[in-house]
Amino acid sequence: MSAVLNARTDGYRVLAQADIIPHLATLTEIAAILGGAPSEWTIRDVADGYINAVYLVDGPKGGICAKQALPWVRYHGESWPLAEDRAFFEASYMRRLDPIVGALAPKLLHFDPVLQFLVIEKLTPHIVLRGGLIEGLRYPKASADVGRYVAQAAFHTSDLGVPFERKFEDIGLFAANRSLLRISVDLIFLDPYQETWRNRFVPELDAWAKAFRDDIELKTAVARHRSAFLSNRQALLHGDLHSGSVMVTEDDTRVIDGEFSTFGPIGFDLGAYAANLILNWYAQGGYDRPADERDSHRQWLLEQVAVLWDSFRHEFVAIWEQNPDTGGDLYPAAHFSGPAGAARLATIRRDYVDAIFADFVAFAAIKMIRRVISYAQIADFGVIEDTKRRAEMQADALAFAREVLKNPGRFTDLGALLDAIPRFEGTGLDPHAKG
């Protein structure tokens, strides 16, 4: 592994689009998936993120997705370098979870550690969930599937599901994913609360950004959760589980893009996904749609936050109850035999899941703030061309997130969280006018 983890891997080079088909032609198994001759293959550049080159390649027989980690952040070049070895961690994440989550993620078909180049199962006719939500489309299985995905991945990489020797082996591997962990710490937990060149927001939000930089209580709350993110090695996280890293059809859901994988609090992934549902709820107010259509879709979005949590909780507890002897060292079943032991273990399970819920709520709020006033803005708001109108929708989201972090005692159950979301609509551009 050490050779892969060098700042620059020997032999690494950025592949241009023209290089992809000739390179794939050298991979016998991939060429067989595509079928025909390389001259019959077609390629499309589909990268919409900041750190990878991504292509879809189709042949007479089938298609694949080719992905290469770039050595810098797109649009910044060498002024913002990155260790391209992060593709190793994405491949490792996919391999670690494949026997756990199965069809909830695409299959890894090939990984080249020198070029940091992955070939992944092509998902078709799937689309990125974020795009569908912006269009007002509904995917009835997505949030339930994501909840199950997180439950399965989390349980079976935690002290509940594996002995500490296996967990420490995993921690040691993913702890080396420092380049992307630094991005997470900076963009999520630090940058929104300080002035930095990376922050991106429309000028109409200047007062909100300053208010957050000046708010000691808010920054203290964020610091507590930053500490948890860095020190609580609870389970293997996807690390960037937003609506842009989920591909869907009405009947199928796949989680993609695990390059930010790291160990941390289980509630982080849940909160990241919920944050994007809630942000889309607020963004809907800026879309030019009939009121009844908008209101109906917003109600569905709130329901999906509940579906996410209920699906996770049900699956996580069911796995725990049905697998009393997984080899995990945290709560061995032999220590809780008999009726009294069973009753105590039931209480332990409840408290454990309640703690995940508290993290879920807090990290959702933190991720909402990050997506409004930090780097890499989301299209949910970006499609609102009137920047004042966009800022008004974003201010609503910021006000809600601030309240959640500063008054967590008001959000100890799902109903309180969901009921509060609409109350912050119309907050306005003055951060001191409400709350």
Q: What would the pLDDT profile of 81-123 be if each residue is shown by its tens digit?
A: 888 889 999 999 999 999 999 999 999 999 999 999 999 999 9
In this structure, the answer to whether residues 206 and 325 fall within a common structural domain is yes
* Peptide linkage before 408 cis (omega within 30 of 0): no
Neighbours of 176 (CB within 10 A): 18
C-beta of residue 255 within 8 angstroms of C-beta of residue 150? no
Neighbours of 224 (CB within 10 A): 12
Is residue 247 predicted with pLDDT exceeding 60? yes
- Label residues 347-365 b or e (16+ Cβ within 10 Å = b): eebeebbeebbebbbbbbb
Among candidate residues 121, 140, 156, the one where a domain is terminated = 121
Q: Quick one: pLDDT at residue 80? A: 85
d(CA 15, CA 323) in angstroms, rounded, equals 46
- Which residue, 263, 210, 211, is CA-closest to 236? 263
d(CA 47, CA 257) in angstroms, rounded, equals 12
> How many residues in total does the chain contain?
435
User: What is the mean predicted confidence (pLDDT) over 253-263?
Assistant: 97
Report angle CA 305, 311, 315 to the nearest 5 degrees.
155
> Which stretch of DSSP H or E encloses residue 145?
helix 142-155
Which pair of structure tokens corresponds to residue 278?
């809630």
DSSP per residue, 163-206: -HHHHHHHHHHHTT-HHHHHHHIIIIIIGGGS--TT----GGGH
* 136 in a structural domain: yes
d(CA 425, CA 417) in angstroms, rounded, equals 14
> Which stretch of DSSP H or E encloses residue 42?
strand 42-45
CATH number of 319's domain: 3.90.1200.10
Mean pLDDT of the residues in the chain: 95
Q: Quick one: pLDDT at residue 434? A: 60
CATH number of 78's domain: 3.30.200.20
Is residue 325 predicted with pLDDT exceeding 90? no
- Which residue, 1, 397, 407, is CA-closest to 172? 1
Report the percent of the chain where pLDDT is more than 90: 90
Any bridge partners for residue 236, and if so which? 263
- Label residues 256-273 b or e (16+ Cβ within 10 Å = b): bbbbbbbbbbbbbbbbbb
* 4 in a structural domain: no
Higher pLDDT, 361 or 6: 361
Which pair of structure tokens corresponds to residue 426?
């119309």
Among candidate residues 63, 94, 121, the one where a domain is terminated = 121
End-to-end Cα separation, the chain, in angstroms: 51
d(CA 121, CA 119) in angstroms, rounded, equals 7
* 10 in a structural domain: no
C-beta of residue 245 within 8 angstroms of C-beta of residue 254? no
Report angle CA 293, 296, 297 to the nearest 5 degrees.
85
In this structure, the answer to whether residues 358 and 395 fall within a common structural domain is yes
Report the percent of the chain where pLDDT is more than 70: 97
Tens digit of each residue's pLDDT (9 = 90 or more) over 22-52: 999 999 999 999 999 999 999 999 998 788 9
* 6 in a structural domain: no
In this structure, the answer to whether residues 66 and 143 fall within a common structural domain is no
In this structure, the answer to whether residues 235 and 210 fall within a common structural domain is yes
In this structure, the answer to whether residues 79 and 138 fall within a common structural domain is no
C-beta of residue 107 within 8 angstroms of C-beta of residue 95? no
* 322 in a structural domain: yes
C-beta of residue 171 within 8 angstroms of C-beta of residue 89? no
In this structure, the answer to whether residues 100 and 164 fall within a common structural domain is no
DSSP per residue, 371-432: HHHSSS--HHHHT---HHHHHHHHHHHHHHHHHHHH-GGG-SSHHHHHHHGGGGTT--S-TT
User: What is the mean predicted confidence (pLDDT) over 56-61?
Assistant: 98
* 212 in a structural domain: yes
* 3 in a structural domain: no
d(CA 228, CA 366) in angstroms, rounded, equals 13
Its domain, for residue 168, covers: 127-424
In this structure, the answer to whether residues 275 and 354 fall within a common structural domain is yes
User: What is the mean predicted confidence (pLDDT) over 364-393?
Assistant: 97
Tens digit of each residue's pLDDT (9 = 90 or more) over 298-323: 999 999 999 999 999 999 999 999 98
In this structure, the answer to whether residues 158 and 101 fall within a common structural domain is no
* 9 in a structural domain: no
Please tell me the total count of domains within the chain: 2
In this structure, the answer to whether residues 287 and 401 fall within a common structural domain is yes
Among candidate residues 68, 101, 121, the one where a domain is terminated = 121
Torsion, CA 364, CA 366, CA 371, CA 376, rounded to 10: -120
Is residue 7 predicted with pLDDT exceeding 90? no
**β strands within 180-270, DSSP E:** 235-237, 246-248, 253-255, 262-264
- Which residue, 368, 136, 175, is CA-closest to 271? 368
Q: Confidence class of residue 2 from pLDDT cuts 50, 70 and 90?
A: very low
pTM for the complete prediction?
Answer: 0.95
In this structure, the answer to whether residues 242 and 355 fall within a common structural domain is yes
In this structure, the answer to whether residues 106 and 174 fall within a common structural domain is no
Tens digit of each residue's pLDDT (9 = 90 or more) over 131-182: 999 999 999 999 999 999 999 999 999 999 999 999 999 999 999 999 999 9
In this structure, the answer to whether residues 385 and 240 fall within a common structural domain is yes
